[in-house]
Homo-oligomer: A and B are copies of this chain.
Amino acid sequence: MARWCVGIDLGGTFVKFGLLSEDRQAGPTFQLPTLVDARPGGVIARMAEGARQLIEGRGGEEFVAVGVGAPGPLNIAEGVVVAMPNIPGMENVPLAARLSEALGLPVFLENDANAAAYGEFLCGSGAGCRSMVLLTLGTGVGSGIIIDGQILHGSHDIGAEIGHMIVIPDGEPCACGQRGCLERYSSATYMAQRATRMVRQGRASRLKAVLERKGSLDSLDVEQARKAGDGLAAEVWDDAARCLAVACVNICRVLDCDQIVLAGGLAKVGDELMVPLMAHFRRLHWSLTAPRTKIVFASLGNDAGVIGAAAVAWRGSG
């Protein structure tokens, strides 16, 4: 008889549900709207509802525990959501305890980026690694760090924020209050913002016409303009690859992990990102040893979060 853990990825728009068996087989996933207006009680009820659907769909099979990935800040050891800006009232909510009460199963809470990293580590591109860093290049740059099989939380649950590593001292201002953070150069959203600003400042670019036609730019526009030989797009794209390479070298120097795994929207372009990234990485990397840390793409796609959350539940109950 199969034994399962449920994984739940709590986002501001959707709650995503999935399953992971004891032998690391993932089941199908589905999602429900988050019902943010229902406040914490309604959100937790929605999480319990989805989990029950999964459990009842496999009548007679054993369910061991539930893992929840949620955006921070969290108190992970206590299973408490300290704050969740997208959900009104979700402040200092003992989410793990309340969901556990609703479902009659142990519930383990984890930062969503850490859960995704743990998913890739156990079941995705990181399988077989001892240590791994996940960088998710999307709206920002999310990250999770696994060292010797353990998720790195930090002493105050604010570790593994590699998106806010300073890669250009006194560089572009970031919403976090720092300047020159990695995510100001190498996230999909900020690349598009930088290109938009440069066009509006009067820099010549074929992106000017795209901006006028569409009203906004995204990272795909930048990438397409770069392929078409646009200088501004090439500059923004190359800066993104270069700053990401600086971060990768620094990850090697600090953590010396087996792999750096790239996920998120920007990773979908494949070699368009990997080729310039690796060129910068090899140029910037020390010559004392050849690069030992591999840089690869993630393999679980959008399921990394739920699979990782379920894996966290397996670990917590093991």
Contact = CB atoms under 8 A, between A and B. Distances in A.
Interface in A125-173: 129-131, 145, 147-148, 150, 152-162, 164-169
Contacts of A157: 256
A284 B178 contact: yes
A311 B4 CA distance: 42
Contacts of A250: 165-166, 250, 254
A165 B253 contact: yes
Contacts of A176: 286-288
A176 B174 CA distance: 31
Contact of A155 (B158, B169, B258): B258
B177 A254 contact: no
Contact of A178 (B130, B155, B286): B286
Interface string A245-278: 0100111111111100000000000000000000
A253 B168 contact: no
One complex includes copies of this chain to the number of: 2
B292 A158 contact: yes
27 contacts: A129-B155, A145-B254, A147-B152, A153-B256, A154-B257, A155-B293, A156-B292, A157-B256, A159-B253, A159-B254, A159-B256, A160-B256, A161-B254, A164-B286, A166-B167, A166-B250, A167-B169, A168-B169, A174-B286, A176-B288, A177-B285, A177-B287, A178-B284, A250-B250, A250-B254, A251-B254, A254-B255
Given A154-B131, A257-B154, A178 B285 contact: yes
Contacts of A249: 166, 178
A286 B174 CA distance: 9
A307 to B, nearest CB: 23
A289 interface: yes
A286 to B, nearest CB: 4
A144 B292 CA distance: 20
A284 B162 CA distance: 15
A160 B254 contact: yes
Contacts of A161: 253-254, 256
Nearest to A258: B155
A154 B256 contact: yes
Interface in A156-200: 156-162, 164-169, 174, 176-179
Contacts of A251: 254
A242 interface: yes
Contacts of A174: 286
A204 to B, nearest CB: 26
B168 A256 contact: no
A256 B178 contact: no
